[in-house]
Structures are given as structure tokens and as C-alpha cells.
Structure 1
Amino acid sequence: MTYCVAMRLNSGLVFLSDSRTNAGVDHIGTFRKMNVFETPGDRMMVMMTAGNLSISQSVRQIIAEHTTAAGRNIWNATSMYEAAQIVGEAIRMVHDRDAETLEQFGIDFNVSMIFGGQIKGERCRLFQMYSAGNFIESHDENTYFQIGESKYGKPILDRIITPETPLDEAAKCALISMDSTLRSNISVGLPLDMLLYETDTLAVTRFVTIDEQNQYFQMIRNTWGKQLRAVFESIDDPVWNAAPDQAVNVLSTVGQKSQPLRIKPPAQFGIPAGTPAPLQTLAQDEEGNHQQH
């Protein structure tokens, strides 16, 4: 599996990808999933891939070499939208060639991509590509895209990233998002590729491959965990079975009628249903010590 995230900001673009591929628990590999199409001074485009590796590699090769019937290719496209259409056409070409054969072997045509960059004369743009070759574009209401194992790293992005976020702050957020994913899913792994693109530079100027020894990423991993623990411990425990006007942080109030959904034993088992025991509650005294009731 994989995890890739990209952000479109007022100041530029951020791209981050892992490099783990998984064909089973005994076949783990490392393949870089970030590809750069660059003509310095004219265009800088980045593509990150998730899904079937053979499909994404075929798509990449076609993108680099193919010219459409209209004479357009990734190197002379006049806009990022036109470049995204070329990527979509490459996906459909691989689908037309390989999908039926893959299906015969029980393999789905599974590929997703993030594609973004800037062509001289227009703004930075960012797209998410799907297996059918269709795509959507990032706007201010949705400033980032994720592919692969996205759920673990999403909360921090939702809380932090806006179009006004500076590039370095966005890079920090992306690395925290990746760290959360690495800790929760073994199908995502180091090394990482990170590229920061500043609007109108039209060239790659800030790129790094991050491994286990990277000083900044190790600091992120250690500090983020400690800070999360500190914030967690600073939040009060809930107060049970108390009157809201007599205590703060009340979770269960006196006289609350809520009950669990109890499943009664079937009559044929001969087990008496009995009378439910009183719910055990937990309150706190003024010093915060727990008292059993």
C-alpha cells in the first residue's frame, strides 16, 4: 500500500510520498512513487501514485513518451488542465491494453494519482486522478489531496491546512500526517520523498529523501508523540453521576435514565433474566480524587 499527500497553497505546492509496496506479508519492497516532469523555466509537474505498481509504471512511461492525436504531450501542454487530460488519457490507454487480462487473473485495475504543478503563464494547480482517467481539481475549499492509506493522517490536515498556510508550516504538517500513518499502518514505510515548490520558480529547488536517520523527521516523531501525551493528560477526566451545577466536566448526571441495550437469554436456555444490578458510577471529589458509588 502507500500514503501520498499533496497541498495547494497560496505560496506554492507541497508533495510527500512514502516508498513501500506490498505484495503480501513476505514480499515487501521499496519503490519511489513520486515522479517529476520538469523543463526548468517553463514547467514543473509532479505525479504521485498509489495502487497496482505495474499499472502506475506503465502509465508513467506513456505520459513521458505519448503524443495525442492533437499533437499534445506532457512537454508542450499549454495548461495544467490539458496536462491532466494527458495523464487521464494515459491511464485509459493502459486500461484498454491490460484491464481484461488482469481481470482473468483476478486482479482489479487499481490505480490512483495526485498530479500537480505549474506551467509558465498560469497558477499552480493540483488534481486527483482516478482509475477511469477522470479527475478533480483542488480549490480553496479543499486545499489538499491524499491517496492510499489516508485516514490516519487526515485529522491533522483538516485542523491545520488552509490556503494561507506557509510552505514550511505545511511541510511540517505533512510530515506529522505521515508519522501518524506510519505508526498505525505497516503497509506504509520509509524512505519518504518530499518536494516543496514555490510559486513561479518553475523548477525543483527544495527536495529531500527522508530515511530513519533524518534529524528533523526524528524530532517530529519524538516531539509529536510527547506533545500529544501532554495535551491528553491536561484534559480532565469525566465526572460521573453528578449535578451539572455542582461540578464541571459532567459526563453522567444524577437521575439520568440512559441504560445499555441488554440482550435477554432465550427462554429455551432456562437462564433466569434476573434483575439488572445498579449501574456503577464514578464521581470526583473537590480534589479530583475518584470516589466509588
Structure 2
Amino acid sequence: MTYCAAIRLNQGMIFASDTRTNAGVDHISTFKKLYQYGVLGERFMVIQTAGNLATSQAVFTKLQQAIDQRHESSLHTVLTLFDAAQMLGECMREVTELAKRVAGNPNSTAFTSSFMLGGQIHGQAPELYMIYPEGNFIRATRDTPFFQLGESKYGKPILDRSIDYDTDLYHAAQALMLSFDSTIQSNLSVGMPIDFVIYHNDSFTIPNVRRIEEDDAYYNTIRHRWATALRDTLMKLPDCPDGYWQG
């Protein structure tokens, strides 16, 4: 299982992905699920993935080959993020259909993957897209500023309660760290390390990926203080009125 999340805010964008893959309790590995693309000063993109690992890796390979071989159409040449989302969806469909044909099972869902694409091209606003296994996609809005992939249910309540379009970029990053901590605490198929990227709007840089390991001091400070605050708040809730539980 996987947990990936991406947030589009007034100040910038945040992307985070765990790195655990699970093919059973005796086969757990670490694989990168977050990839950056871009041209310094001109465009920046991040793609995250969840689902069949072989499908995802084939898609990333094809996208990178188009860049390396200087194809007329690649992530380095598309005119808009919308065009990039279309390219990603088409590439995914091609890879999935080929895998189904090779397996001799055209109706199989075993080869599907989902993706998130976010970034900014010079002269345009930042955008964030969710691309579904069928290749269609939706775009994040001011009212819905974040998307999630994979095991999202444990971390979603934190983001729902703390994130909106105008949230401070670094406060949102803290909320996202806690979202991952809640997920990891509740589901063993999601695990460290976490790859984190923070992009400031209109900077057109290629930010460094921050890989957060289990022994990361700041991450552990945040998660321990959050756990303590939850326990303290629970103890300070008002006492129930007499007879409340008797109906």
C-alpha cells in the first residue's frame, strides 16, 4: 500500500510520498514514488504514484525517455500542465493495455496505477491534477486544495480540519507530516522514509527532495507534541452531565 498527498496553496505547493511497497508481510521493500521534472527558471513538475509498481515504473521510464531523446512532445515541452496531465494519462493507458495483452487478460485490474501531477509553467498559475487509472483526471481548486493517493483515510481528517487554500505553507507542511504519522500509526503497509518537496509559487526552481527518516529529529518532535496535545485535550474536555449516558 502507499500514501501520497499533494497540496496546492496560495503560497506554494507541497508533495509527500511514503516509500514502502508491500507484497505480503515477508516482502516489504523501499521504492521511490515521487519524481521531479523541470527546466530551471521555466517549469517545475512533480509526479506521484500509487498502485502497480511495474506499471508506475514503466510510465516513468517512458516519460523520461521522451525527455532524454528530445521528443517533440515531452514534459519539458508541453505548453500547459493540462497537456502534461493528458500526456501522463495517455502514457498510463498504453502501458496498462500492453500489460493486459501480454498477460492475456484484457479485463484485469491488477496492472492499474493512479498518479498525481502538480507544478507550474512560466506565465501560468500553479496547478495540481489527480489522474485516475482510466487516464481521465480532475484538477484541484481553491475549495479542494489537496489530493491523496493510496491509504488516505487515516490522514485525511487532519488535512480536512487544518488545510485551506490560504493556509501558511509551512503550517500546511506540519499538518501533512502529522497526516503521515497518523497513517503510519494505523497501517503497517505505509512506512518511512517519506519524500517531501516544498515549492514556492513563481520560483521556477527544482527544490531538493527532503527524505524524512524514522530518526528525523524535527519529525519526531512534531509527532510527539501532537500526541501529547491530543491526550491533554481529551483530559480537559467537559465532564458529562449527570444522567447523560442513561439517555
> Which residue number in structure 2 is paired with residue 26 of structure 1?
26
Provide, for residues 9-28 of structure 1, a one-character-per-residue CA deviation record: whole Å limited to 9, x for no partner.
01110001100000111000
What is the distance in 2 between the residues matched to 1:240 and 1:101?
68
The aligned residue for residue 46 of structure 1 is 46
Please show how residues 1-293 of structure 1 align to structure 2 within 5 Å: 1-66=1-66, 71-102=72-103, 104=105, 108-239=110-241, 241=243, 250-253=244-247
Is the 1:43–1:119 contact (alpha carbons within 8 Å) kept by the matching residues of 2?
yes
Structure 1 gaps, min length 5: 242-249, 254-293
Q: Which amino acid aligns with 1:9?
A: L
Task: Answer whether contact 2:8 2:165 (CA < 8 A) is retained.
Answer: yes
AA aligned opposite 2:154: Y
Equivalent residue letter for 2:168: P
- 1:161: how far off? 0.6
Q: What is the CA deviation profile of residues 14-48 of structure 1, one whole-angstrom value per residue up to 9, with x for unaligned ones?
A: 00110000011100000010000121111110001
The whole-number CA distance in structure 1 between the counterparts of 2:33 and 2:99 is 21
Question: CA offset at residue 116 of structure 1?
Answer: 0.4
Give the deviation of 1:205 after TM superposition: 3.1
SS in 1 for 2:209: strand
1:140-170 CA-to-partner distances (Å, cap 9, x unmatched) read: 1100000010000001101111111111111
Q: Is the 8 A contact 1:102 1:108 kept in 2?
A: no
TM-score (norm 1): 0.79
Q: Counterpart of 1:81 in structure 2: which amino acid?
A: F
Instruction: Report % sequence identity.
Output: 40
* CA-to-aligned-CA distance 1:164-194 (integer Å, 9 cap, x gap): 1111111001000000000000000001100
Task: Count how many residue pairs are aligned between Structure 1 and Structure 2.
Answer: 243
Tell me by how many angstroms 1:103 deviates: 6.4
Structure with max Cα Rg: 1
* Higher RCO, 1 vs 2 (CA within 8 Å, ≥6 residues apart): 2
- Partner SS state of residue 214, structure 2: coil
Q: Name the Cα RMSD after superposition.
A: 1.8
Distance in 1 between the 2:65 and 2:173 partners? 32
- Asked if 1 retains the 8 angstrom alpha-carbon contact of 2:96 and 2:112, the reply is no
Distance 1:133 1:35 in 2: 19
- How far apart, CA to CA, are the structure 2 residues paired with 1:141 and 1:32? 30
For 1:273, the equivalent position in structure 2 comes to none
How many Å apart are 1:240 and its aligned residue?
5.1
Q: Which amino acid aligns with 1:138?
A: A
Bigger shift: 230-239 or 141-150? Answer: 230-239
Q: How far did residue 100 of structure 1 move?
A: 3.5
1:237 CA drift (Å)? 4.1
Q: CA deviation at 1:238?
A: 2.9
Moved more, 201-210 or 122-131: 201-210
